[in-house]
Amino acid sequence: MPETEKSLNQVQDFSLRRLGWATALSIIFCAGILLQVVLITVRGEPFCLNTGCKVVEELVELNPMLFNLLGAAFFAACAITSFLTRKQPAFFNIFRLLCLAGVAAEGVLLSYQAFVAGAWCSYCLIVFGAIVILNLLCGFRQVMAGAAVLIVETALFSVLNFNISTANIQQLTLDNGTCAITRCAEPASTLYLIFSQDCPHCHRVLEALAGCSRCEFHFNPIKMIRADLLPGTIARSECVPEINRLALKVLGIDSIPVLVVRRRDGYLFIKGDVEIINYIRDHCFSTGDADEWRGDDLLQDGAPQFLKPDDQGGACSLDEQCAEQ
């Protein structure tokens, strides 16, 4: 059977009414994603119904603007090919391939959320629902092909190990997560500040560090930061921010900023902007010995003890958007 006649039979099975539904749905979602692009441009962040979107966004390297533009282009292509199929049945095969490609792409994203991020993005789920509908409109064989793709992707993700092994953890230090350093002539101690550029409490701590200090500061963001965020510091080209998030997760810490004080007898972890700023002022801008601190009794057998943030919050959640309180 000639290819054109075969495509015509497929279109007849598909029906012109369902083609119209597919075109309308594709146009609606293309417009919706373009609206998301506008929101990112205006507000600096996309719209989402839950905090899972923020978690997934921080774990994915692709720029949200580019990510949404690719999504808009996908639905635009679906709208064009489904519309052209009315006049030229050969376009139906292209439309089916696009729908199947959409299932494959969303399958990777959903598997990543399930097995790596541990959080669900409501926006991604809505887009996935639209792609599922497009495939349903293509008929039974298309649904079976899409289901097979999803099953294979989910199975592969389920057997892959995305956790860093114990051996690898032992080889990593906070120095691997340091993106910038400030040094003075004779630093009395080394401090690591784990923070985020989106956290207002972290910015309070960064402001308190202005000027020379007696301490060597290592800046350890939980995700990549703007190049101009830390003026006057020595940037490090090899920086893995994911290590800092992993370190907090391993220690059961769910807030930032966190100041890590490296000492001879262990590490001290200080949480919250007020406690961190007080420590910095007492030890990095004073004339006393930075190794002598009135909180030494908080270190027991070298194990880290945590200072609580102030009563007004003083910290941002590690996984949720934070506002100054």
Examine the pLDDT at 2 and tell me if it is beyond 60: no
% helix, strand, coil for the chain, step of 5: 55, 10, 35
Beta strands in 153-229 (DSSP E): 180-182, 189-195, 215-221
Residue 60, φ and ψ in degrees, nearest 5: -105, 130
Higher pLDDT, 287 or 115: 115
Per-residue model confidence as pLDDT tens digits over 221-251: 988 888 788 887 888 877 888 888 888 887 8
Residues 25 and 111 in one domain: yes
Residues 135 and 22 in one domain: yes
Examine the pLDDT at 13 and tell me if it is beyond 60: no
Per-residue model confidence as pLDDT tens digits over 161-204: 665 444 454 566 788 889 999 877 667 778 999 999 888 899 88
Residue 271 in any domain: the answer is yes
Residues 134 and 228 in one domain: no
Residues 40 and 99 in one domain: yes
Which run of H or of E encompasses 111?
helix 91-112
- pLDDT on residue 12: 56
Please, which pLDDT band fits residue 84 given cuts at 50, 70 and 90? Answer: very high
Examine the pLDDT at 11 and tell me if it is beyond 60: no
Examine the pLDDT at 290 and tell me if it is beyond 50: no
Longest CA pairwise span in the chain (Å): 90
Residues 220 and 152 in one domain: no
Report the mean per-residue pLDDT for the chain.
78
Residues 33 and 87 in one domain: yes
Count structural domains, the chain: 2
Residues 98 and 122 in one domain: yes
Residues 116 and 154 in one domain: yes
Q: Give the residue among 6, 13, 5 at the shortest CA–CA distance from 139.
A: 13
**How far is the first Cα of the chain from the last one, in angstroms, to the nearest whole number?**
70
Residues 130 and 178 in one domain: no
pTM of the model: 0.53
Please, which pLDDT band fits residue 75 given cuts at 50, 70 and 90? Answer: very high
Task: State which residues form the domain around 114.
Answer: 3-159
Residue 81 in any domain: the answer is yes
Handedness of CA 226, 228, 229, 231 (dihedral sign): positive
Residues 140 and 205 in one domain: no
Which domain-ending residue is among 159, 190, 213? 159
Residue 79 in any domain: the answer is yes
Residue 325 in any domain: the answer is no
Per-residue model confidence as pLDDT tens digits over 20-71: 899 999 999 999 999 988 988 887 767 776 666 766 666 666 677 888 899 9
CATH number at residue 57: 1.20.1440
- pLDDT on residue 315: 81
CATH number at residue 242: 3.40.30
Which residues have C-beta within 8 Å of that of residue 90, sequence separation ≥ 6? 3, 4, 7
Which domain-ending residue is among 159, 188, 213? 159
- pLDDT on residue 4: 54
- pLDDT on residue 185: 66
Examine the pLDDT at 81 and tell me if it is beyond 90: yes
Residues 148 and 12 in one domain: yes
Which residues have C-beta within 8 Å of that of residue 38, sequence separation ≥ 6? none
Residues 8 and 155 in one domain: yes
Q: Are 8 and 87 in contact (CB under 8 A)?
A: no
Average of per-residue pLDDT across 76-80: 95
Residue 324 in any domain: the answer is no
Residue 322 in any domain: the answer is no
Which ranges of 115-267 would DSSP assign to H, the alpha helix?
122-137, 140-159, 166-171, 200-208, 242-251
Residue 323 in any domain: the answer is no
Which domain-ending residue is among 133, 159, 185? 159
